[in-house]
Structures are given as C-alpha cells and as structure tokens.
Amino acid sequence: MAILTPIENEGYIHFDEDASKQAGTELAEAYQTGAPFPHIVMEEFLPMPFLRSLLGEFPDTSDKSFFDRDQERFKVQLPPSQIPGARLRNLVTELNSPAVLRFLQALTGIKGLIPDPYYMGGGLHETRSGGHLGVHADFNIHKPLKLERRLNLLIYLNDDWHDDWGGHLELWDKKMTKCEHRIAPVLGRAVIFNTSLDSFHGQPDPVRCPPDRARRSIATYYYTASEEGLTKLPQRTTVFKTRPGTTDREDLAVRFDHFLRDWVPPRLYPFATKFNRFK
C-alpha cells in the first residue's frame, strides 16, 4: 500500500490533507530516530501504477545544459516550467501543497514548513551514464526568500533499474568517516531527510547504466522562517566532502570562500574575494 494516495478529479492530481497528516504521524518515530541524521526511506511512496503512468512524460534533456565539474557531472535539473507533461508537472507542483506539508510536518516534527515556489535546485533531476554527485551538505539559506533550508524529499523514477548500474544515494556520518546507508534509486522509493551543515549525502560513484538510460528523480526542498532571522547563521553554499580512500576532490574555491565569509568583515568581503586564487 502506498504511503500517499493521489486523487485525480477532472484531470487534476491532489492529496487529502487529513490522510496525509495521518501517514506522517505513523512514520514519525522511524524518521526522527534515523541515523546518522533524521531520515526515512519509504518503499512505494506513491502507487507504482500511478508513477509508471507518468514516466513517459519525463522530458527529453538532450538539449539541456548539465553540471560538468569534478564534484558534479552530467546532472540536469528542470523546474516545473520546463516539464511539458501536464500530469507530471501537476505532481511536482502538488508536492508543495498543504497536504504534503502536513505529511512532512507530522513526519519530522518540524513546524511551519515553507515550500519553495521557485524550485531553486529542485524539480526533475536526471543524471546521465557516467555522472555523479559528490558527497556534500546542501546550501542552507534560500537567499531570495531569506529562509533556512530544513528538508529534502527525493522520489525515484527508475523502472527496472539494475543494482549494478549504481546511482545509489549515500548517507554519511557527521565526521565523514563512513557511509551509513546506500539507497538504490528504484521506482517508487522515496527518501526524506533533514538538511543541516553536517547532513552529508550524495551519489558519488558514477552511474553505470546503458547510454539510453539515466538516473531520474523528483526533488523538492522545504524551508522555515527563523524567529531570529538569518543573521546568526553561517552562510554556506553546497559543501562537497571527500570520502576516505577515494580520489574525490574537494572544492577549494568554496572552502576558501567560506573562510572569507567567516573571518572577513562584510564590508571587506567583496574586496577579499578578488584574492580567491581557487576560482
């Protein structure tokens, strides 16, 4: 039985708020006691026949730009505005609905969750064969909205995915000494986890699927407004980490930028960035 059951009325997909909240409540203990940070892996988060009916609407990305650097390679991100399929686009936007927020708040215990109407970094994700995403902690501040990032929701869209194709999501301990969980990106599986400055995760090993396949998912992120504002939070972009015993490469430009932000007075920061030789 699926965790959330979509309702379709006259072609519109939505969720029942009370049923969604109840589903979150039932899974709250498992989520909140998750290690190395609060998280949950759910099988058949949405009904499998429903998801399979949407797979054909995943857009062709052959003409889209993709990330291509040591820490992040062959990954495409599409916001809802670039999803031509009506039902798939409807689902992605509905993940920002009050019903899903009620589910997430009951699940996580985090009150006052706010969705991102801009889908900054979210929407549909596709990683092509050979692509990867290094282990990292996500950016923590949504600058346009001045909100603190709190949660990630990932829903995998890979039917008939072979385990030897890789693409596993890895959750690492806070000291970056070991991978605690490896999660295959199979159809219907969803992962939700707290985002903080030490919730390290990624898909660091290159995908080994055939060239005509790709690792696909939906990603939505959720935020809260701090009562104290953002002035007490250190400002961070995505922080990539290196795994012991691998050839992973740290993003030295980002590391140096964080050093400048922490130690250089705000008025001098624009001038100090000129000396970032790692750019």
What is the pLDDT at residue 19?
Answer: 98
47 exposed, middle or buried (CB, 10 Å; 0-12, 13-18, 19+)?
middle
Which of 18-22, 114-118, 161-165, 269-273 is the least confident region? 269-273
Q: What does the alpha-carbon distance between residue 52 and residue 38 come to, in Å, rounded to a whole number?
A: 29
H or E segment to which residue 28 belongs: helix 17-32
Rounded to an integer, the average pLDDT of 236-255 is 90
Which of 108-122, 179-193, 213-227, 235-249 is the least confident region? 235-249
Q: What does the alpha-carbon distance between residue 255 and residue 240 come to, in Å, rounded to a whole number?
A: 9
Query: pLDDT tens-digit profile of 170-229?
Result: 999 999 999 999 999 999 999 999 999 999 999 999 999 999 999 999 999 999 997 666
Q: What is the pTM of this model?
A: 0.89
Q: What does the alpha-carbon distance between residue 65 and residue 74 come to, in Å, rounded to a whole number?
A: 9
- Domain 7-228 superfamily per CATH: q2cbj1_9rhob like domain (2.60.120.620)
Beta strands in 184-264 (DSSP E): 190-194, 201-203, 214-224, 239-240
Rounded to an integer, the average pLDDT of 243-249 is 92
Cα-Cα-Cα-Cα dihedral sign, residues 249, 253, 255, 256: positive
H or E segment to which residue 142 belongs: strand 141-142
Is it the case that residue 166 has pLDDT exceeding 80?
yes
Helix (H, G, I), strand (E, B) or coil at 240: strand
What is the pLDDT at residue 147?
Answer: 94
What is the pLDDT at residue 149?
Answer: 97
Query: pLDDT tens-digit profile of 30-84?
Result: 999 999 999 999 999 999 999 999 999 999 999 888 888 889 999 999 999 999 9
H or E segment to which residue 51 belongs: helix 48-52
Cis-peptide into 36, omega within 30 deg: yes
Q: What does the alpha-carbon distance between residue 258 and residue 185 come to, in Å, rounded to a whole number?
A: 32
Find out whether 7 and 15 touch, Cβ atoms under 8 Å. yes
Return the bridge partners of 128, or none. Answer: 214
Q: What does the alpha-carbon distance between residue 24 and residue 126 come to, in Å, rounded to a whole number?
A: 28
Q: What does the alpha-carbon distance between residue 124 and residue 190 come to, in Å, rounded to a whole number?
A: 14
H or E segment to which residue 9 belongs: strand 7-9
77 exposed, middle or buried (CB, 10 Å; 0-12, 13-18, 19+)?
buried
